[in-house]
Each structure stands twice: as structure tokens, then as C-alpha cells.
Chain A
Amino acid sequence: MALLLHLMKTGNKLEEGGRTAAPVQRDEGEPEKLCPNCRRRIPVSRLWGNGMVCDCGYHFHMKARQRIEMLTDSGSFRELFTGIKTADPLLFPGYQEKLETVRTASGEEEAVICGTALVDGHTACLFAMESYFMMGSMGCAVGEKITLLFEHALQNRLPVIGIIVSGGARMQEGVLSLMQMARTSAAVKRHSDAGLLYTALLTDPTTGGVTASFAMEADVILAEPGATIGFAGARVVEQTTRKALPKGFQKADFVLRHGFVDCIVPRARQRAFLSRLLALHRQG
């Protein structure tokens, strides 16, 4: 365990090509995942037991509900605003069908899950974005739910924890999805002006209109190791500047070095970190 913690602590060599660890024991026929970092096949059961983190420190994507379970006290999560589901305000070609497909595939109604929960006994409002739902893109329903959550948190004087993953604004909702950036920001501002804490945990990937709104507006901004965090996609940047990008461009270490996140926190330490932050900001 000590070795594991050492491997996963901030500043590991993850982004420089990984490190070797003991060979993985496996049972015949067990489903495996290929780690894109160390190139080894890891049994899924082992990953599950390890918060979807490879022995080399690579953080696999995680479903929003898995994250909520990992970060909050067992059974304490109360989901809010489940009635809010995407409409199709522009009647955008193919959008309805796309929504139906991703709803079935992800098992979620929307790209964000909101609610209240306890983190080591501290009450907080929490939202977790779902990468398996159109890469956590922000349409009107996502904007509405996040805005409502900040308003709910303001009313009840609660801190907000945001677990963020997003490709940005959802283009199928056109200029209305763009407006969600302004709308959520205004709600964040009111919550902030009331002296309440907002912590954002940026996971892979956090980009576009979400980076350019509530992801970068938190009091404390944490990043998961290896997460891509940026405004424009790396390919777009490359096309714009016609230059090869440096290794690790827009990765968590890069963003930390340029001063846009507070800490890189590996998954194994996220819950303890959040709990400590909440304790340090306890009111009353």
C-alpha cells in the first residue's frame, strides 16, 4: 500500500512514459483493459479495486456515479433535479436519435448528475459530469441543473464540489448552449459572493466552453493526473499555429506549471483531500 501511494503521489513519472511495477497476476478469461500508458493488460477486477487506476498510475475514465460513490460517504448521496432532461430546442438534425442512443448506452438521462452528499460527514452539494453521455457536453439541461445546484447551495449555505469532464458546449443546442456558460457563471458568482466554497476537480478531458466557464471559476481547482485541460482542442491549436506542440501540452502538469490549477490530486487521495478542504472551510 505504501508503495502504491508512493507511485500515485503528485509528481510521479506518469506523463514521462510511466514506470514499471510488479507483473500482474491474472486468471484465465478475465476481462482486461489495455493501459495506454504502460501498455500492459490489466484485469478489470483489479482496476475496479483500485479506483480505475493502473499500477503505473494511469487514471482510466470513470463513470460519474462511480466517482460519486468513491468520493462520498456510503449511502449519503441524494440526487436532485432528475426531472430535467434535454429537449431539442433547435430541432437539430439527428439530435433526438443521438440522445436516445447515448441514454441507452450510458444509462443516464443527462450529462451531469447533481445532488447533496456527505464527505467524511461534511455536507456538500455535488455535481458530477458524465463522460459517457456525449463527452459531458453542456446543453441547456446541463446548464439548468448546474445553475439550480449553485442556487440550492446558496440557499442552504452549502459548499459545492464539481467533478468535471467535458468536451465543451453542446453544438446541437446552438447559441442556447453557449448561453449556459454565462448562466452557470452568474450562479457561481452569487454563490461565491455569499462567501461559500466551490471546489472543482478537473478530469480528463476538460475543454472548450466548460473550461471557459465554471471549471475555471472555482476557489480551489484540482486536477487529476494526466488530465487534458484546455480551451481549444490540441488539434485545433496545431492547425492554427502550424507548429508541433510540446509533449504534455494541456496535460495536468502543464496546466499546473502555467498557474491554472492549485494541485494535482491522484484518485486515491481525492476524498481525503476534499474532506480536508471542507473541514478548513467549515462555517458557523
Chain B
Amino acid sequence: MHPGEEREMLSAYERVRTARDNKRPTGMDYIRNVFPGFIEMHGDRRFGDDPAIVGGIASLNGTSVTVIAIEKGHTVRERSFRNSGAPSPEGYRKALRLMRQAEKFGRPVVCFVDTSGAYCGSGAEERGQGQAVAENLLEMSTLCVPVLSIVIGEGGSGGALALSVADRVWMMENAVYSVISPEGCASILWKDPGKAEAAAESLRLTAQDARMFGVIEEIISEEGLGTEGFYKNLKERIRKELSALSADPELLENRYQRFRRLGTDPEWEAAGPGF
């Protein structure tokens, strides 16, 4: 069987497991390979520096780019340091700070998204996890530079969306994007976390589903995932996309409309606005 065909046979839950695999390239692997010479910038200038989010500046074929990635880590030690890629409010605030800086200097933003969700700790609650996510959604909707977000593993709920209010959102072939984890959904809805597999199917969280709903524009093939050729192709696609977006005079209006139509039912328009 052709490797591509084999991959397409994966069930929704198998994709969830693949997306979570700690051997999969993480945010920093993408940064190292697609943006060599990346300079990391730390801190939100308000409270601290969240290791779950890595951000900084790099050059892409001569164009300066702000790059932000959620980093899960590979080893137990890395995962502990990175909080397994569950960002705290200060991570989102650091990301927003760097995005505002990108806006100031007119450089595009690339985000690599990979999280099971924003961190659910008591400190995160005290420091306004909800407010931090909300502020990113609000501010990213009118950020005056092109934003490209790529879901490379788990696109877990609001914690992933907080870096994905973008002009283009792409997903790796085996990445998932969901409002809740299949386990969480199964335990809330069916009081049985064991039904995660069925929940994964019902939630329609695969890249194919997301593209069908219009939530993402492109699915990136995982053929050769992590190899030099893979990163080279990806880099070229990113470069092309950013240069096309940079030339768009209607960038913000198009971004507004991109999200505006998500979830609109054609029947509603037929029924009239209701006033």
C-alpha cells in the first residue's frame, strides 16, 4: 500500500493519538528547520515568561517574520519544562506582545499551534486565562499584518484558537482541531471517558473535516514528515503564502469575512435578518 493511502485509512481517534505522539515534530523543530537563525524573545512584560510558548524573529528568504510556536517538548524533562504545551495567560500575553511588535515593524506572523488546550491550573485562573485568550482573539482580528497559523499536532480549543485568528489556517494531515478533547466530550456527554473513540468520530475533528467546514484552507501532507525535504517544501509554501497575503489590500476585511461566515446557515439568510 502507498504510504499516503495508509495514512488516509486512520480513524479519527487514531489521528488524535498520532497528533499527540511525542515523537512528532514539535513547534521548535519547525522553527529550527524552517526559520534557521531564529532569535527567541522572552516574557510578557507583565508577569513572567511561559516556556509553553516560544516566540521571536527570523528571516524567511530575506523577509523578516515574527514566529510564535506552542512547544510541547519530546522528553519527559522537556515536557515538564514546557508544561506539555499547555500555555498560561502570560504565554498568550507574550504572543500578543510579539504580534503587536510585528505590526509595528510591518512583518508577517507565523504561528505553529500544538496544544491540548490552555492550562487549567489555579494560577492560570487567577491571572485571567479567559481574559488572555479573549484579548488575543480581539486583537488578532484587526492585526494589520498577514497572519498564517499552522496546526501541527493538537488544535485544542480556545488555547489553540488564541494563536489561530489568522488570514490562513493550515493543518498537518494528522493534526486535529477541536472544541474539546474526545475524552472530555465523552465524559461530559456520556459520563464515560472510555467512549473517546466514538466522541472523536462525532466531533469531526480531522483536517479533512476542518477543511470541509471552511475552518482551514489547506492540509499539509505528512509524507516525509520531519525530513529536510518536508521542511523545505513547507518553507516554500509559507513564503509564497505570506507574499500573496502581503499584497492583499483587503487583508483585514477578508480576515473578518473569513471568520464571519463560519457556522452561518444558508437558511438563515433566506429567512431574512429577522427585523
Assembly CA distance A80 to B275 (angstroms): 5
With A231-B130, A260-B128 already in contact, the answer to whether A174 and B137 are too (CB < 8 A) is no
Assembly CA distance A212 to B264 (angstroms): 21
1/0 per residue A172-200: CB within 8 Å of B? 11111111111101111110110000000
Within B101-118, the residues touching A (CB, 8 Å) are 118
Specify the chain B residue showing the minimal Cβ separation from A184: B137
- Once the chains bind, are A178 and B178 in contact (CB under 8 Å)? yes
With A81-B274, A178-B158, A186-B141 already in contact, the answer to whether A140 and B179 are too (CB < 8 A) is no
1/0 per residue B256-275: CB within 8 Å of A? 10011011110110011111
Known: A92-B202, A175-B213, A249-B122. 20 other contacts (CB 8 A): A171-B189, A172-B189, A175-B209, A176-B262, A177-B263, A179-B262, A181-B158, A182-B137, A183-B262, A185-B141, A187-B260, A189-B141, A209-B158, A212-B137, A212-B162, A213-B133, A215-B130, A231-B124, A231-B129, A232-B129
Could you say which interface size class chain B belongs to?
Answer: 35 or more
Specify the chain A residue showing the minimal Cβ separation from B160: A178
How many pairs, one residue from A and one from B, have CB atoms within 8 Å of each other in the complex? 203
Specify the chain B residue showing the minimal Cβ separation from A81: B274
- Once the chains bind, are B256 and A190 in contact (CB under 8 Å)? yes
- Once the chains bind, are B274 and A245 in contact (CB under 8 Å)? no
Assembly CA distance A143 to B204 (angstroms): 19
Q: Which residues of B contact A172 (CB under 8 A)?
A: 189
Assembly CA distance A140 to B262 (angstroms): 8
Assembly CA distance A240 to B123 (angstroms): 11
- Once the chains bind, are A140 and B133 in contact (CB under 8 Å)? no
Q: Which residues of A contact B158 (CB under 8 A)?
A: 169, 178, 181, 208-209, 212-213, 231
- Once the chains bind, are A214 and B268 in contact (CB under 8 Å)? no
Q: Which of A44-52, A63-71, A82-90, A264-272 contacts B (4 or more CB under 8 A)?
A: A82-90
- Once the chains bind, are A250 and B125 in contact (CB under 8 Å)? yes
Q: Which residues of A contact B263 (CB under 8 A)?
A: 89, 139-140, 143-144, 173, 176-177, 179-180, 183
Specify the chain A residue showing the minimal Cβ separation from B213: A176
Assembly CA distance A37 to B204 (angstroms): 42
From A143, A182, A190, A214, contact of B161 by CB (8 A):
A182
Chain B nearest Cβ from A95, distance in angstroms: 9
Assembly CA distance A160 to B58 (angstroms): 41
Assembly CA distance A193 to B165 (angstroms): 18
Q: Which residues of A contact B265 (CB under 8 A)?
A: 84, 87, 89, 140-141, 144
With A185-B138, A245-B122, A250-B125 already in contact, the answer to whether A175 and B130 are too (CB < 8 A) is no
B interface residues, Cβ below 8 angstroms from A:
118-122, 124-131, 133-135, 137-139, 141-142, 155, 157-158, 161-162, 164-165, 177-180, 185, 188-189, 198, 202-205, 209-210, 213, 215, 255-256, 259-260, 262-265, 267-268, 271-275
Q: Which residues of A contact B189 (CB under 8 A)?
A: 94, 171-172
- Once the chains bind, are A84 and B138 in contact (CB under 8 Å)? no
1/0 per residue A147-172: CB within 8 Å of B? 11000100000000000000001111
Assembly CA distance A173 to B210 (angstroms): 12
Specify the chain B residue showing the minimal Cβ separation from A186: B141
Q: Which residues of B contact A208 (CB under 8 A)?
A: 158
Q: Which residues of A contact B142 (CB under 8 A)?
A: 186, 189-190, 193
With A90-B202, A174-B179, A258-B126 already in contact, the answer to whether A237 and B121 are too (CB < 8 A) is yes
A interface, over-half SS: helix
- Once the chains bind, are A231 and B125 in contact (CB under 8 Å)? yes
- Asked if A23 is at the interface (CB within 8 A of a chain B CB), the reply is no
Q: Which residues of B contact A192 (CB under 8 A)?
A: 138
With A176-B263, A183-B263, A186-B259 already in contact, the answer to whether A230 and B130 are too (CB < 8 A) is yes
- Asked if A93 is at the interface (CB within 8 A of a chain B CB), the reply is yes
Q: Which residues of B contact A180 (CB under 8 A)?
A: 262-263
Within A242-257, the residues touching B (CB, 8 Å) are 243, 245-246, 249-250
